[in-house]
Amino acid sequence: MYTNRRNFFRIAGVAGASVLSGSLASFACKADKKNRDLNDPIEMDANEKHTQLFNMSGYAAPRIDTVRVGFVGLGQRGPGAVERIANIAGVEIKALCDKLMDRVDKAQEILASYGLPAAKSYGGNDEAWKELCQSEDIDLVYICTPWKLHTPMAVFAMQNGKHAVSEVPAATTLDEAWQLVETSEKTKKHCMMLENCCYDFFELLTLNMARQGFFGELLHAEGAYIHDLRTLMFDKNGYTDMWRLKENHSRNGNIYPTHGLGPVCQAMNINRGDRMDYLTSISTIDFQMAALAGDLAKKDPFYNEFTSPTYRGNMNTTVVRTEKGKTIMIQHDTTSPRPYSRIHLISGTKGVACKWPEPERIALSHEWFNENQMNEIRDKYTPEIVKRVGEMAQKIGGHGGMDFMMDWRLIDCLRNGLPLDQDVYDAALWSCIAPLSEWSVAHRSNSITVPDFTSGSYKTNVPVDISLAKGGNTSVRARVNNAEKQLNLQ
């Protein structure tokens, strides 16, 4: 299976790049074939192209009046997702799965607190999720597991007739990214990455402004994930089996790019009018992780496993150039004691917007708007989804409300048979920045070609529409003083 994709790129050799854990087999790198380094991958032949089986961008699957959901993974992110979905009308939570059954039991308590019937429990072993995906009473599989399980679970879910959504990243290698694309096209099942930052309030505001030409033509954007996670990563009770620390211990690049990248890609119409052409990436060395592991190992030999100096660098900076000559800068740093930031900067021929450092700022003609002007901008350009759902989203929560906004929008699209805001090509593209950046870092920041997962359909794909001109009729059921209250959002 996927032999076409595995043959899509021809490899000259991978010496000195073992850090990529097998993902090199799908890489394409622009190189001068006459003078190229024979240890580098070479660019595919022009006629070696993936034939798109079906264009999933803008695809509207048959409507589902009541969306039946099964959750897989109830550790860090899963319980919050269960609670958010429990607030949405037109949904039945049919299944809960985790290899640790005590987590399943706690999630059942969430349903009971909302007066909802118990879901079927799956768990107790590493393969229980497969039975959930094969269940006939589920429409949507909601995946909140460690990164390396996202693609296998999403692919299996789609193969068994389910729409699949997964926490970020959707894939960790290029081969996985192509698996998602091919399976979604073949099955005509949605495969969405749950990039919640696309639904944050300022990101939606600036997306709407960009759609209406406020910034002119966008020419540059910046995004980031700067968030000190050292305490959580080294906590034995944090991520199950220390999986996130292991990711940071074995990979060097921008291994978590999508939070800053997703919103700016939507604003710049990436995959919908423009495409990424190539990228280059550079990392610092690790100044903190190995040292912290060494300090912990002095008191607890458990941490000796993590003292070797193979961590990714503290700060990774990746720069992408698009086919239309625009640029995107993405940064990743989860170890430095810096204030949280996703940057979210979009710059156009007329104006610019930037979210971090706070306060949120918008400028035209070299002048930042004052507070009164910012309020006028918000009044004029706040999109309908925020006006309709924003207040309730903030009450229900999830990173200030953006998580709930994402979940509500997902369910509303499925119930009304509408295209999703994020499709499988976005999931594949935004995720593939990680392995591509690893290759570039390992090869002295040489540039590397970014695959076109749309197979050319980006030229005619329609930009994301957040107008709520269709749909928007999904209600919210929220607990108010322990009583369920139906809130009609029309």
Answer yes or no: is pLDDT of 359 > 90.
Answer: yes
284 is a domain residue: yes
Total domain count, the chain: 1
According to the model, what pLDDT value does residue 15 have?
31
Share of the chain above pLDDT 90, in %: 86
According to the model, what pLDDT value does residue 289 have?
97
DSSP letter for each residue of 244-295: HHHHHHH--S-SS-HHHHHHHHHHTTBTTTB-EEEEEEEEPPPSSHHHHHHH
C-alpha distances (whole Å) from 312 to each of 25, 263, 285, 332, 454 are: 21, 25, 7, 10, 30
Residue 17 makes CB contacts below 8 A (sequence gap 6+) with 24, 39, 439, 442, 443
Contact 96, 83 (CB under 8 A): no
Q: Range with the lowest mean pLDDT among 61-70, 109-118, 477-486? A: 477-486
DSSP letter for each residue of 419-434: --SS-HHHHHHHHHHH
Nearest to 256 by CA among 173, 164, 332: 332
Q: What is the pLDDT of residues 58-105, one digit of tens each?
A: 999 999 999 999 999 999 999 999 999 999 999 999 999 999 999 999
List strands edge to edge, sheet with 67-72. Answer: 120-123, 91-98, 67-72, 140-143, 163-166, 191-193
Q: What is the pLDDT of residues 148-202, one digit of tens each?
A: 999 999 999 999 999 999 999 999 999 999 999 999 999 999 999 999 999 999 9
According to the model, what pLDDT value does residue 21 have?
37
Q: b/e for 43-69, b at 16 or more Cβ within 10 A? A: bbeeeeebebeebbbbbebeebeebbb
According to the model, what pLDDT value does residue 423 have?
98
Nearest to 385 by CA among 165, 213, 140, 198: 198
According to the model, what pLDDT value does residue 477 have?
82
Contact 327, 261 (CB under 8 A): no
163 is a domain residue: no
How far apart CA 200 and CA 156 sit, in angstroms, is 30
Answer yes or no: is pLDDT of 114 > 80.
Answer: yes
According to the model, what pLDDT value does residue 44 have?
34
Sign of torsion, CA 7 10 12 13?
Answer: negative
Q: How many CB atoms lie within 10 A of CB 367?
A: 9
Q: What is the CATH number of the domain that holds 374?
A: 3.30.360.10
Q: How many CB atoms lie within 10 A of CB 330?
A: 28
434 is a domain residue: yes
Contact 262, 291 (CB under 8 A): no
pLDDT band at 206; cut points 50, 70, 90:
very high
- Tokens in use for 423? 């499709």
pLDDT band at 244; cut points 50, 70, 90:
very high
According to the model, what pLDDT value does residue 483 have?
35
The helix or strand, by DSSP H or E, that contains position 436, with its residue range, turns out to be helix 424-442
344 is a domain residue: yes
- What residue type is assigned to position 276 of the chain? M
156 is a domain residue: no
489 is a domain residue: no
Residue 214 makes CB contacts below 8 A (sequence gap 6+) with 350, 351, 381
**Residue 208 phi, psi (nearest 5):** -65, -40
Answer yes or no: is pLDDT of 8 > 70.
Answer: no
The helix or strand, by DSSP H or E, that contains position 439, with its residue range, turns out to be helix 424-442
Q: How many CB atoms lie within 10 A of CB 341?
A: 18
Please tell me the total number of residues recorded for the chain in this structure: 490
Contact 140, 88 (CB under 8 A): no
* Domain residue limits at 436: 197-383+424-459
Q: What is the pLDDT of residues 296-344, one digit of tens each?
A: 999 999 999 999 999 999 999 999 999 999 999 999 999 999 999 999 9
Q: Range with the lowest mean pLDDT among 12-16, 52-56, 483-487? A: 12-16
Answer yes or no: is pLDDT of 49 > 90.
Answer: no
The pLDDT of 253-274, averaged and rounded, is 98
191-193/361-364 β-pairing:
unpaired
**Residue 286 phi, psi (nearest 5):** -85, 120
Answer yes or no: is pLDDT of 11 > 70.
Answer: no
DSSP letter for each residue of 393-412: HHHH-SGGGHHHHHHHHHHH
Mean pLDDT (the chain, rounded): 90
Q: How many CB atoms lie within 10 A of CB 459?
A: 12
70 is a domain residue: no
According to the model, what pLDDT value does residue 50 have?
83
- What residue type is assigned to position 398 of the chain? G
How far apart CA 112 and CA 119 sit, in angstroms, is 10
- Tokens in use for 17? 């790049």
Answer yes or no: is pLDDT of 20 > 70.
Answer: no
Contact 178, 5 (CB under 8 A): yes
338 is a domain residue: yes
Answer yes or no: is pLDDT of 38 > 80.
Answer: no
- Tokens in use for 136? 């006939």
Sign of torsion, CA 232 234 240 243?
Answer: positive
Answer yes or no: is pLDDT of 18 > 70.
Answer: no
